[in-house]
């Protein structure tokens, strides 16, 4: 049962990033304008989209789980610092805390890896 909940947790954490990456594709021009408003070059949107789609898929599949989790952890903290440090705006504070919370969950996955429902798990065969 713990293996199922591990997979479910990885799916739930990944969903935030997947939906965000897909939303950036459908709102490409608006997202570039928003990023540039914070002094971030628009050219970084493509790597951000790739990061937000590829690494969550790796996390769900359990492929390179620790690397994917640490990558998303760093991405969460970077976006929190760059885009959500406006303490005068309650919505930005909530977004900051959401990113920090996601980073905490990803830290746990990055340290412990995935359980049985993962491509990283090597099957141990018994010689007869």
Q: What is the dihedral of CA 65, 68, 72, 74, to 10 degrees?
A: 110
pTM: 0.89
- pLDDT tens track for 11-44: 999 999 999 999 999 999 999 999 999 999 999 9
**In angstroms, rounded to a whole number, what is the distance separating the alpha carbons of residues 54 and 56?**
6
What per-residue confidence (pLDDT) applies to 119? Answer: 86
Sort 76 into a burial class: Cβ within 10 Å, 0-12 / 13-18 / 19+.
Answer: buried
pLDDT in the model for residue 78: 96
* pLDDT averaged over every residue in the chain: 93
pLDDT beneath 70, residues of the chain: 122-128
């Amino acid at each position: 049962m713990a293996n199922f909940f591990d997979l479910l947790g990885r799916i739930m954490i990944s969903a935030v990033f997947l939906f965000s990456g897909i939303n950036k594709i459908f709102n490409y021009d608006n997202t570039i304008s928003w990023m540039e408003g914070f002094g971030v070059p628009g050219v970084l949107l493509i790597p951000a989209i790739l990061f937000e789609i590829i690494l969550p898929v790796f996390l769900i599949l359990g492929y390179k789980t620790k690397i994917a989790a640490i990558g998303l952890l760093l991405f969460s903290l970077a976006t929190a610092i760059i885009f959500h440090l406006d303490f005068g705006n309650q919505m930005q504070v909530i977004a900051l805390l959401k990113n920090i919370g996601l980073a905490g969950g990803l830290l746990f996955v990055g340290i412990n890896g995935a359980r049985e429902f993962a491509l990283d798990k090597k099957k141990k065969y018994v010689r007869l």
